[in-house]
Structures are given as C-alpha cells and as structure tokens.
Amino acid sequence: MKNVVLLGSTGSIGTSTVKVAEDLPGQIRLIGLAAGGNADLLLAQTRKHKPAVISISDPAKAKQLQDTLGASTQVYCGSEGLLKLATLPAADIVLIAIVGTAGLQPALAAIRAGKDIAVASKEILVMAGEIVMNEARKHGVRVLAVDSEHSAIFQCLDGKPGASIRKLWLTASGGPFRDKTLWPKEKFPEITVERALKHPSWVMGRKVTIDSATLFNKGLEMIEARWLFDIEMARVGVLVHPQSIVHSMVEFVDGSIIAQLSTPDMCLPIQYALTYPDRAASDRVQTNFPKLGTLTFEEPDTERFPSILLARRAGEMCGTMPAVFNAANEVAVEAFVNRKINFPQITETVRRTMDAHAVVEHPTLEQILAADAWARREAAK
C-alpha cells in the first residue's frame, strides 16, 4: 500500500489521479488532498477517500470545510497547508499537480522530508531543475515524472545510466495547427482563442492546451527532460507524432531504440509513478494496433513554431533562463486568452523577454523566484 499525498486534487491531473486511486483501492491510499478553489469537489473527494488531512487556498473556505467535515479531518489553508501536506509523516509519495510556481516550495519540502515526489507541475523542474535534482540526490529520494513523455522515457531507460543514451526523443502531437497547408505561417495571426483550445488528442487544462498549440509545452518538456535524466540539451530531440501513441523514445548508444506506446490516457503515467517500481494490473487502457493502422513521424516545424528553438536556448544557457522562458510564456498565454495579443506574439513576447535577461548561473531559489518576477513584469510590458 502506498500512502499518497495529492497536491492539486481538483484539476485535470488531480482528478485522473483520484481515478487511479479508485482503480487500485488495495494499493493506493490518498492520505492528503489539497485544492486551489474548488471546495465542492474537494469535499466530495474527502467524503469518498477519507484523507486525514486536506487543504484549500482560501482560509474562509477552509473554515467552512472544517465545520462541515468535523474533527475527523484536519483542514489547512494557503501555502502553509501545502507544506503541511507535503511533509506528512505517513506519506510515501507526494504528487504535485498545482499549476504555476506554487508547487516549488512544497516539492522541496517533501524531498527534504525524505518523500519521493511525482511531478506533474512543469514549473518545478523547468525553473528549479538543478536545485530539485541535487536535493533529491542528497536526500536519496526519487523524482518521478507524471508527464506522459517523461514517464515513457523513464520506462524505456529502465534504470540504464546516462552513458548508454545516444538521444532522447520526445514526441509531440503537433497541436491543432500542425498541418502546414491548412495553417501556413501567414494565417497564424488569425488564430482565435477558441480554435487554439481545441486539442486533437488530449483533454487538458487551458494553459497546457494553448502551450500545445504553440509547442511551448514541448519546449518546457525538453527542459524538464534535461534535468530529470541529467542529459545535455543537444541530446534531447523532438519528433512530431500526430497519433500520440508513441509517448517518447530512447535511442541507445548501440543504435537500438526503445519506445513506450499506448492509447493516450493520463491515468497510465500517473499509475506508473504511484506504483513504481511495480506494474499494477488495470483494464483502463487498451491499444488496438490494427484499428490504429498507421503511425507517422515528422520533424517539428521550427519556422512556424520557434518555441522549440527558444526552449533549446533556455535549456542550454540554464541558470535563471528557463525560469524566464516559463514566466514570460505564462504572461503571454494569459494575454492571448484575454485577446490582448495575437498567437505569434506569444512566442515574440518570450523571445524579447529572454533577450533582455541577464542570466544568473547556478541560482538559489530566491534568485530563481526573482528572475520569475522580473520576467513577468518585463513580458507584461
């Protein structure tokens, strides 16, 4: 039985994680749940799974939940609540699926308390990959990936050392504007928010769906892979694979390539992270090859999607640059969703912010957060 703390239980990854726990009642126990604002869903999850401790951002909502649930459940609030949950003595693993930078401190707190962490929030490794991985090594804990691509690479590597890798291949669906004939570069300024929110193969949150349309999502994943698997950016490749069946691949030094495949379903990588190193039986995911027929691969079009090149640059420079890349993108996506800038201006905003940034090498967490705040102000200009 694994005792799991889930930070971000009401979001897209959070609700999938709850499903996985329901699939495997004898193997996964949710002992702590934290939510942002959705008190109703958190209450329903708490009634069903009976975690001893929960947390919600807003103190007033926490008070209401405490009154409703009574003494059997301890309700915390705010960032303090996240830290309490991340360090619960009974927790074996802490899954962090909070959007934004709020997951950073809880991730480090969990590691320092000797917990394995499963990371769904990209910001944690993109912004502070060096610090997080160093701390994990120091405390002898695992950093497990929940993202389908990184889970795939982790499964393909199967414990092989970095020296056996020639290249990591992250696959990308290519997003809704992959087709060059339908969506030539000249048409990109006309892309609407509604159109960008229609993703061909995954159902996800709003920010990550826009990031999939710009390929910034893949850029963030390239940087994550660089830290998770301790490999230089030059050996992290991207392949567009519209069917989203091959979730990523490892090319080994002998030329052999191992891929992980399945019908796209986030429950699979979540389950693998929570049950690792075991594989738990589940009928949830089925893959029918004759029905799929063809799997195709193509080079990413960096002319239309320069985010890939910006990500490579940020991941090569390291220091505070990945944090700047991430923060500027968040601001730009928000501006796009609020119809203040057009689609190509998302990338343009990030490029300009990166150009204006003076990188701090091997930064402290404070320097990373300062770079994040600076990039938000700079991008907003």
- Positions touching Mg ion (CB under 5 A) are 147, 149
Evaluate whether 119 touches 143 at the Cβ level (below 8 Å). Answer: yes
Residue placing its CB nearer to Mg ion in the complex, 49 or 247 = 247
Sign of CA dihedral 28, 3, 261, 157: negative
Q: Which is nearer to Mg ion, 147 or 251 (CB)?
A: 147
The CB-of-332 to Mg ion minimum distance in angstroms stands at 20
Contacts 24+ apart (CB under 8 A), 27-30: 27/1, 27/2, 27/275, 27/280, 28/1, 28/2, 28/4, 28/274, 28/275, 29/1, 29/2, 29/3, 29/4, 30/4, 30/5, 30/6
CB of 202 to Mg ion, least distance (A): 8
Q: Which amino acid is at 208?
A: V
- Minimum CB–partner distance for residue 141 and Mg ion (Å): 23
Decide whether 9 or 173 has the Cβ nearer to Mg ion. 173
Q: How far is the CB of 221 from Mg ion (least distance, A)?
A: 6
In angstroms, the CA 287 to CA 291 distance is 9
Provide the token pair at 10: 């009401």
Q: Of 130 and 147, which CB lies nearer to Mg ion in the complex structure?
A: 147
Smaller CB separation from Mg ion, 147 or 372: 147
Q: Considering beta carbons, is residue 146 or 369 the nearer one to Mg ion?
A: 146
Residue 231 burial class via C-beta count within 10 angstroms: exposed 0-12, middle 13-18, buried 19 and up = middle
Minimum CB–partner distance for residue 222 and Mg ion (Å): 11
Q: Which is nearer to Mg ion, 147 or 334 (CB)?
A: 147
For residue 264, whether the previous peptide bond is cis, meaning omega lies within 30 degrees of 0, is: no
Shorter beta-carbon distance to Mg ion: residue 269 or 306: 269
Tell me which residue of 64, 69, 99 sits closest to 82, measured CA to CA: 99
Q: How many CB atoms lie within 10 A of CB 168?
A: 25
Q: Work out how close the CB of 301 gets to Mg ion at its nearest, in angstroms, rounded to a whole number.
A: 19
Amino acid at 12: S
Which neighbouring-strand residues pair with 278? none
Q: Which residue is nearest to Mg ion (CB)?
A: 147
Would you call 324 helix, strand, or coil by DSSP? Answer: helix
Q: Collect all residues with Cβ–Cβ distance below 8 Å to 284 and sequence separation of at least 6.
A: 23, 265, 267, 268
Minimum CB–partner distance for residue 208 and Mg ion (Å): 8
CB of 49 to Mg ion, least distance (A): 26
